[in-house]
Structure 1
Amino acid sequence: MAEVAQDPRRAALADWLAGVAPGSRDLRPASGDASFRRYFRLDTDGGPRIAMDAPPAQEPLAPFLDVTARLAAAGVHVPRVHAADTDLGFVLLDDLGTRHYLDALDADNADALYGDALYALVRIAAADSAGLPPYDRALLAREMALFPDWLLDRHLGLTLDGAQRAALNAVCEALIASALAQPQVFVHRDYHARNLMLTEEHNPGVLDYQDAVRGPLAYDLASLLRDAYVNWPEARVRGWALAYRDRAVAAGLCAPTADDDFLRAFDLMGVQRQLKVLGIFARLWHRDGKPGYLGDLPRVLAYVEAVAPRHPETAPLAALIGQLDLRRRLQEAARPCAR
């Protein structure tokens, strides 16, 4: 109880839960994330639940509640909302369990689990996206700017010269053009192994979708299969990507597309996302004091190193990474000093 008393928002959450969840008890941390949101697990007379604490000034609840309703209507397994207070920033949700895909995946079950995830992704892409923020040129460019601003400059102390900056800008323009040329659908925006829960029924349970937008068909696919937290042999990744293409065509989300054309769009979308992720993980340390993501930077960079040389649009990025010796520099910066 002393811990609750020293945390005013947690104390307020406990008071709110006493009114909306009969028999609520044993409020305990479940997880945090890369934002201001926090999650708590509790027991109630109706069974286990998850309580979300989303400070209204930083994490308004309206988008979360709106997107939850859209995905549920599309048949996606998202937590049911039992109670919500947008003024306080509290939500009471179903508990989808404790086993993330990241904990469950192995070489033997990956085909089955990714098969479930790809079926769910088709439902997500087909969900109502009317009125969602567009994944437009400005947003795509703003995301990729995180790479030079936070990874290169702030984290590694590197400043691009004029020619290097021009080369990176040209790559980013090509990535934007590819993204905008794709069918525009409902995009979860963070669809990966840490946000998918292994469930006995309607697998997987899907979390952390409140930043959904209307954008490129391949974005969530790249997020899932070029995951910052787990990687797979390239042949398996490309097989899963083409299986998704087939399901998207069958669902009317896109026209039939040649394998090479679809995989090129998938590759380019992945590079856009990885540039964003490299910048975000560096920003989480330098701005937010969260070093836990720094260990994932080499894996993310490896995706870019592997994919960029395949396509003329991204080959200059591969050359730039070599010129800057980014892999060595990341290794040298891997252990931040305590603040």
Structure 2
Amino acid sequence: MTPPAAAQDFLNELGWNDADILPVAGDASFRRYFRVISGDRKAILMDAPPPHEDPRPFIYIARHLKAQDFAAPEIFGEDLDHGLVLLEDFGDHRMREHLDDHPEDEETIYRQTVDLIKALHQKPAANTAEYDWDQYLREVNLLPEWYCPAQSLDVDQAGFVDAWQTVLQPVIAAQTSPVTVLRDYHAENIMLLDDNRLGLLDFQDALAGHAAYDLVSMLQDARRDVSDDLEEAMLAYYLDDRSADDAGQFRSHYAILGAQRNTKIIGIFTRLCIRDGKARYLDFLPRMWRLLEKDVTHPDLAPVADWFNRNIPSDIRDQPIAVPQV
């Protein structure tokens, strides 16, 4: 990757005149990242080019989290006109790769991620938009918008909306005291820092919503297998101070938001293939279907389960999506 044209002037203004600029792994968006090295100093340059990206939400949430004593990257400088942000470098010690190499640490580190979420939920929510019905609907609609055409399926769109509206109503009703929802809280966005804290990344899409969302994002990871036993242990750990009634309601909402999120991700990963030519994301779809099928076994998801059974039977879900030929 070539650094953006404005990068050198931006770095010069911040005192990084002689820095080397090296590419690092990106994500599924238009954002790109570079490691900036000057002597013994290191930082990360985020390239969030307008109009595709707007770095202001990332900057706001980073400062909000730091003010609440969470390990979000410090912002060293910003150029909003060019979409450039220089931020703290958390290094390369990522939760995903650490657990690949040290599976014996799995329960300890997942417990840390749950502790972080529990602490976050005790803090005032960020001043962001709410995770409301319109947002939930936009997200689940990614499945009929992208996955269903890719599989040549003519589905009942009105019934799809009705089913989701029915199951999501109690979740939305429970969001009277919303928490900050990071929305992409999983093993590939957690850095293991030298002070044993968890470094947070990729939170620019944060909203104010339900406490179950980030928990299910971590425990039903789109990119990493989490065993049913570990998921249950961590869910029980999160709920250890709840009454039986509260825990039962939370588990219902957890399953509903898991199904909502996994439905969305099936649509997103299909779009990344069809629209953006990133066919590797199709490799995750079998896991996403397994997670979704597990979630919809909850009785409170019966309308959604019925819709999927009528419109996308299991034999169709097992069929691979045809990758467009460039």
- Give the TM-score of the pair, scaled to structure 2: 0.90
Residue 150 (structure 1) aligned with residue 146 (structure 2): yes
1:263 maps to amino acid: R
Match runs of 1:69-84 below 5 Å: 69-84=63-78
Match of 2:121 among 125, 130, 138: 125
1:149-298 correspondence runs (5 A): 149-153=145-149, 155-161=150-156, 165=157, 167-183=159-175, 184-246=178-240, 257-298=245-286
Please say if residues 126 and 207 of structure 2, whose CA atoms lie closer than 8 Å, have aligned partners that are also in contact.
no
Aligned partners of 2:274 and 2:324 also within 8 Å: no
Distance 1:167 1:239, change over 3 A: farther
Distance 1:130 1:67 in 2: 7
The one-letter code matched in structure 2 to 1:267 is: A
RMSD of equivalent CA atoms: 2.3
Structure 1 residues 36 and 173: alpha-carbon distance in aligned structure 2, compared to 1, 3 A threshold: same
The C-alpha deviation readout for 1:76-108, integer Å capped at 9, x for no partner, is 111111111212211111111113222122542
Shift of 1:325: 5.3
Task: Say whether 1:317 aligns with 2:319.
Answer: no
Q: Which residue pairs with 2:292 in the alignment?
A: 304
Give 1:265 shift: 1.6
Alpha-carbon shift at residue 304 of structure 1 (Å)? 1.1
For residue 191 of structure 1, give the secondary structure of its aligned residue in structure 2: coil
With the length of structure 1 as denominator, give the TM-score of the two structures.
0.87
Mean Cα displacement is larger for which, 325-334 or 115-124? 325-334
* SS of alignment partner, residue 121 of structure 2: helix
Measured in 1, the distance between the counterparts of 2:320 and 2:303 equals 24
Aligned identity (percent) is 31
1:199-242 per-position Cα deviation (integer Å, ceiling 9, x unaligned) = 22142110001111101110111111111011222232122012
Q: Using the alignment, how far apart are the partners of 1:86 and 1:175 within structure 2?
A: 40
Contact 1:178 1:268 in 2 (8 A): no
How far the C-alpha of 1:262 sits from its partner, in A, is 2.2
Does the CA-based 8 Å contact 1:36-1:58 persist in structure 2?
yes
Listed as ranges, the gaps of 5+ residues in structure 1 are: 250-254
| Residue segments in structure 2 that go unaligned for 5+ positions in a row | none
Distance 1:148 1:269, change over 3 A: same
The answer for the alignment partner of 2:88 in structure 1 is 94
